[in-house]
Amino acid sequence: MIFEQEKRENLRRIREFEESAPPADWDGSVSFFPRYLQIEHTTRCNARCIMCNHLYTANRGCRDLDVGVLCALEDILRYAETVMLNGDGEPFLCADIDKSLALFRKYGVSIGTNTNLTVIPDNVWEYLKDGFSFINVSCDGSEKALFETIRRGLSFDVFTDNLRKLNRVAPKLRKNLDCVLMRHNLGNMAALVRFAADNGFASVRFHPLGVNPVIGNFRDAPGLYPQTLAANARAAKEEAQRLGIELQLPAIPSEEGDAKKELREIEEEETLSRERILRAEQRRDELSRQYLSELVREEELEQNTYDCGAMCRWAAERCYIDLSGNMTTCCYDPIHRYGNLMEQSFSEIWNGPLYKKLRLAMMKGKLPKWCESCCWIKNPVF
């Protein structure tokens, strides 16, 4: 592997930091760099999914990663093991995606991505063959009508054609199927597991819908239909065990209650859902993008904290960078940044006063208040 020694030594220093108590006079600085970088490449998307902000923004103001951000990262890529292409858009729509992939390959960095798999440039297939270590594929329905109802603007036929080609081109590539679980597809859970098994996926991960107040999709949250959710989750689990598919489920409620009443409510909600989509489209100009708009304040790292009880692997060995060069610990909190790579070097941010205060607090079992509801803090598996 290219730069294998640098990556191995960097990982050794990370593990030493995570497993050893720091000296009494430690100021929060570290001698390593992140082993995992999550980099937003574009805010452009070719879909207008019914649960996503792209439903009402419709690519308004979209743009691609600033080339200056990649230049600012080049010095530390020799230490990185993985880059995740992610953010508020479909990564393969970035106009210069091939240049990013070539740069990561130059430094021996493995690549992963989240994608809807409906638009893959010709020059990306060679990287999918041997440059990617995993690919997370978004799919919320195992059949055409449901898929295209949720992921508006996408073609199920194009999706499945690309999936078949991916299996031919990169048969050993790990594929994870990610499904946003909502009212519309509760009854499709077991079928999605079968679809995943039939198409070479290693896992199916069901993520509960995050309601969007602009769309007004509160009634689409799966937790409002506990009996239907529990019954279909059990069926999905049985199928996953039978087919040997890894399965991730959200918290499942008990099955007490009137499932038939729930199903009637689901049917009655269909008309209201269509009306909400229209209202969201009419309100799209009311919203402006606020991601990473606020610089973290030192007092927020010293006073406005909560007891996390464990080290956050994201804050310790990973980071998130948006297409403007804003840098933060992860994509969970979309507001606060620790610096900007167009204004400072990576090292100046990574070992700057804000990151150092974050580490000092974390070693005392504390994290910023906005991390309190994050489900990844105590989970070392990503």
| Amino acid making up residue 46 | N
What is the C-alpha separation between 326 and 372, in angstroms, rounded? 22
Lowest mean pLDDT among 53-57, 157-161, 271-275: 271-275
Q: What is the pLDDT of residue 288?
A: 46
- What percentage of the chain has pLDDT greater than the value 70? 88
Q: Which residues pair with 326 in a beta bridge?
A: 340
- What percentage of the chain has pLDDT greater than the value 90? 67
| Res. 94: pLDDT tops 50 | yes
The arithmetic mean of pLDDT across residues 208-219, rounded, is 86
Q: pLDDT for 313-335, tens place per residue?
A: 888 999 999 999 999 998 888 88
Q: pLDDT for 113-142, tens place per residue?
A: 999 999 999 999 999 999 999 999 999 999
Q: What is the pLDDT of residue 291?
A: 66
pLDDT band at 379 (very low <50, low <70, confident <90, very high): low
| Structure tokens belonging to residue 289 | 């993008």
Lowest mean pLDDT among 16-30, 61-75, 192-206, 258-272: 258-272
Q: What is the pLDDT of residue 211?
A: 84
Helix or strand or coil: residue 192?
Answer: helix
Nearest partner of 103 among 80, 121, 86, 133, judged by Cα = 80
Q: What is the pLDDT of residue 273?
A: 57
Q: What is the pLDDT of residue 285?
A: 47
| Res. 304: pLDDT tops 90 | no
| Res. 272: pLDDT tops 80 | no
Q: What is the pLDDT of residue 306?
A: 82
- Tell me if the pTM is above 0.85: yes
Q: pLDDT for 157-176, tens place per residue?
A: 999 999 999 999 999 999 99
| Res. 340: pLDDT tops 50 | yes
| Structure tokens belonging to residue 21 | 């108590």
Mean pLDDT of the chain: 89
| Res. 298: pLDDT tops 80 | yes
What is the C-alpha separation between 127 and 367, in angstroms, rounded? 37
Q: What is the pLDDT of residue 382?
A: 44
Lowest mean pLDDT among 38-52, 64-78, 275-289, 315-329: 275-289
What is the C-alpha separation between 175 and 92, in angstroms, rounded? 16
pLDDT band at 143 (very low <50, low <70, confident <90, very high): very high
CA torsion 291-293-294-296 (nearest 10°) is 50
pLDDT band at 177 (very low <50, low <70, confident <90, very high): very high
The arithmetic mean of pLDDT across residues 246-271, rounded, is 67
What is the C-alpha separation between 211 and 193, in angstroms, rounded? 24
Q: What is the pLDDT of residue 276?
A: 58
Helix or strand or coil: residue 368?
Answer: strand
Q: What is the pLDDT of residue 11?
A: 97
pLDDT band at 280 (very low <50, low <70, confident <90, very high): low
